[in-house]
């Protein structure tokens, strides 16, 4: 019962470097999401994906890139990290057709950009 796993758990990087955060789910859920959590802002949606090869922007997509070549994986890439991207990143998934839209979250990746 692996569920949804994120890696790494913690990451420190420098401004300008490329960073990829991984997300893997074992439920074959169609939908996957990336949120960032910042003090005073709660969770804000970065990108989401309805299925393999289908992605869409959320509320704060600038500076991020996603891909979904396989249903189970949804990596998030910071192309050139900035200090403002220091945050806790959560991946989530949900079933297609689930009208009550329950989200299942990973444990998060704490990213620090120096």
Tell me the window of 16-24, 61-69, 74-82, 92-100 that interacts with other proteins (CB under 8 A). 92-100
Q: Is 63 in the site for other proteins (CB under 8 A)?
A: no
CA 75 to chain CA mean position, Å: 7
**Distant-in-sequence, close-in-space partners of 65: CB < 8 Å, separation ≥ 6:** 76, 77, 79
CA distances from 5 to 61, 83, 105 (A): 22, 25, 9
Q: Is 107 in the site for other proteins (CB under 8 A)?
A: yes
Q: Is 54 in the site for other proteins (CB under 8 A)?
A: no
Residues binding other proteins (CB under 8 A): 31, 33, 35, 40-45, 48, 50, 58, 90, 92, 94, 99-108
């Amino acid at each position: 019962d692996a569920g949804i796993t994120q890696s790494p758990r913690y990451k420190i990087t420098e401004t300008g470097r490329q960073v990829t955060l991984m997300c893997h789910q074992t439920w074959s859920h169609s939908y996957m999401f990336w949120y960032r959590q910042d003090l005073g802002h709660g969770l804000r949606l970065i990108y989401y994906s309805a299925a393999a090869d289908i992605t869409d922007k959320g509320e704060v997509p600038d500076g991020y890139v996603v891909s979904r070549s396989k249903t189970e994986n949804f990596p998030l890439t910071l192309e050139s990290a900035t200090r403002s991207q220091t945050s806790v990143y959560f991946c989530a998934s949900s079933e297609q057709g689930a009208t009550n839209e329950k989200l299942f979250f990973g444990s998060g990746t704490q990213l620090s950009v120096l």
